[in-house]
Amino acid sequence: MMGDILAHESELLGLVREYLDFAEFEDTLKTFSKECRTKGKPFPKPTGASLRDSTPLIIQKELLAAFDSGDQKAFFRQWEQHVPSAVRDGDSLAQKLEFYLHIHFAIYLLKHSRGRPKAGSRTL
């Protein structure tokens, strides 16, 4: 029972830490970290690279460039790398978005090939 409480507390503290890091509350994060150490609370280190470490604007530009150019493989490579699987698999809004992204890429060539003859086709 006590182990469960500590596991949940550790998870909650980790979420608070992740949010403060994401929102760039640097001073608050330092104070929070110091207070957790002082009180002997579990304070997990961040796992993997945070979005801030990966420069979100670069990630955003790469995602948008792949989206705009119809490069499905590049888009979903970035998507899977930067959107946590827990979000992709457990959040209904993220699943709906991913569904519409697949539709976008499925019809991309149809939308962007209007007025251009297909290779090997003849005009009458």
Evaluate whether 37 touches 43 at the Cβ level (below 8 Å). yes
Kindly state the average pLDDT of the residues 96-120: 81
Which one-letter DSSP state was computed for residue 83? S
Is residue 35 over pLDDT 60?
yes
φ, ψ dihedrals at 123, nearest 5°: -100, 145
- pTM (predicted TM-score): 0.49
Kindly state the average pLDDT of the residues 9-24: 82
- Please, which pLDDT band fits residue 118 given cuts at 50, 70 and 90? low
CA atoms within 13 A on the CB side of 82: 19
pLDDT digits (tens, 9 = 90+) for 62-95: 999 999 999 999 999 999 988 888 889 999 999 9
- Give the sign of the dihedral formed by CA 38, CA 10, CA 27, CA 48: positive
